Amino acid sequence: MSSIAQRLGREVIDTVSRQFYAQIRVHPQLAPIFAVVHDWPRHEAHISHFWWTVLGGDAYLDNQYNVARKHLDIGVTPALVDEWLALFEPIVRRHVASPDADEWLRKARMIGQSIALMNTPLD
């Protein structure tokens, strides 16, 4: 059985990443947070590789990922995670048919939850 990554191919994953970050750069709440990114093509390639591996593709780069920590470090809050997911879902659905889109978005929500949990104060 092939992975979602293999069924979609790198081009689709790259397209989703590029379109998503194009919207991030103009989003009123997310753009200021992501202003720390200075090399967008490199960042998009990094994230495309991340999604490729999350969706079951074999790594083709030697990248390390600590998604929750990176997003915590730049100040991503649970509310911003919700904004992130609201931007991400329609882009995925535009380029990916169900059930692959559903599975990709399930994984995105899980990642979003881990980011939100790291940035939720303990009482």
Q: Give residue-wise pLDDT tens across range 23-81.
A: 999 999 999 999 999 999 999 999 999 999 999 999 988 887 777 777 777 778 889 99
How close are the terminal C-alpha atoms of the chain, in Å?
A: 45
Burial class, 121, CB count within 10 angstroms (exposed 0-12 / middle 13-18 / buried 19+):
exposed
Which CATH number fits the domain that encloses residue 30?
1.10.490.10
Q: Specify the pTM.
A: 0.89
Residue 96 falls within a domain, yes or no? Answer: yes
Count of the separate structural domains present in the chain: 1
Mean of per-residue pLDDT scores for the chain: 90
Asked if residue 57 belongs to a domain, the reply is yes
Q: 13-23 pLDDT, tens per residue?
A: 999 999 999 99
Confidence of residue 118 (pLDDT cuts 50, 70, 90): confident
Tell me if 50 is assigned to some domain: yes
Quick check: 13 and 108 in contact, CB under 8 A?
Answer: no
Q: Tell me whether residue 19 is in a domain.
A: yes
108: pLDDT strictly greater than 80: yes
In a domain, 123, yes or no: no
**H, E, C per residue of the chain:** CCCHHHHHCHHHHHHHHHHHHHHHCCCCCHHHHHHHCCCHHHHHHHHHHHHHHHCCCCCCCCCCCCHHHHHHHCCCCHHHHHHHHHHHHHHHHHHCCCCHHHHHHHHHHHHHHHHHHHCCCCC
